Amino acid sequence: MPLKPVAFCASLLTAMFLSTAVSAEHHDPAYWAEAEHRSEANKHRNQYRNPAETLAFFGISSDMTVIEVWPGRGWYTEILAPWLHHGGGRLIAAGWPADMGPEWRLNFRAEYNQWLEDNQSLFGEVKVTELGPENHWSIAEPGSADAIVTFRNVHNWLAGDYAEKAFHAMFRALKPGGILGVVDHRAKAGTDLETMKKSGYITEAKVVELAGLAGFVFEAGSEINANPLDSTNHPAGVWTLPPALRLGDEQREHYLQIGESDRLTLRFRKPIDADDREHCSCQEDPLSESP
């Protein structure tokens, strides 16, 4: 029996409301942080990594072109990719180069790329690029990204002595006015360089310095990812804490009680009138194809 006009309109309005509600829900990164496609182990880490609050602090929206630098096994990718896909944005994953060892890193890269391919219906098409030694510095077309995010990676670049080049590569890939969001393990103020390289913790001042050398302007810091229980002084550096727990069963419960590391959360901006080349203090163009 056909619906009466009033009943039909009510049904149509209900359907429209439900569609809008679902759509609005999918445009919220908090929804994807708790979504069913994520493992319970990964969702457990939300309490330490605060993804929705962190992305909001960075000022990232779901219609942007975003580069995630060194996504590792994809903890943040599984939030960013569907969020951007549903919001009309785009994710570029600038990962480890194919010629960058050791073997575990290459295995992670292969698994990550296959994972993206297997989940295209959820993630959309994620473009994969590379960043790292010796000559993989073009992570995207110059001036093409609205925002770049990198989580717990700057300390690795510092230890590898190519942090300056990495920041310059990110600077070049961003549009004028684009956002750089950085999260990393936070060293105590005044920590010396060698301790930073060995411990995996890096000072806020060092990150600001490296970003400034590339031309970025520091905008703000946040305590979203702070952990006051972390002394930052551990036998195996930051890897003593979860999720690495490098000491195995030795004081395991103690380190689990501390939780993940104390983290800096910093937002930078590429100036509107930026000239990316005039800020680099490297001896040669870091984006050159020569080693």
pLDDT by position in tens, the chain (length 291): 454 454 545 554 444 444 444 466 678 999 999 999 999 999 999 999 999 999 999 999 999 999 999 999 999 999 999 999 999 999 999 999 988 888 998 899 999 999 999 999 999 999 999 999 877 899 999 999 999 999 999 999 999 999 999 999 999 999 999 999 999 999 999 999 999 999 999 999 999 999 999 999 999 999 999 999 999 999 999 999 999 999 999 999 999 999 999 999 999 999 998 764 444 444 344 343 322
Split into its structural domains, the chain has a count of 1
Look at residue 273 and tell me if it is in a domain: yes
Domain coverage including residue 266 = 29-226+262-279
User: pTM (2 decimals)?
Assistant: 0.87
Torsion of CA 240, 244, 246, 247, to 10 degrees: 70
Q: Taking the CB of residue 258, how many other CB atoms lie within 10 A of it? A: 17
Look at residue 22 and tell me if it is in a domain: no
CATH of the domain at 65: 3.40.50.150
Look at residue 220 and tell me if it is in a domain: yes
Look at residue 158 and tell me if it is in a domain: yes
Look at residue 252 and tell me if it is in a domain: no
Look at residue 6 and tell me if it is in a domain: no
**1 to 7, 8, 57, 233: CA distances (angstroms):** 12, 12, 53, 74
Look at residue 242 and tell me if it is in a domain: no
The two tokens of residue 146 are: 């609205």
Contact 274, 176 (CB under 8 A): yes
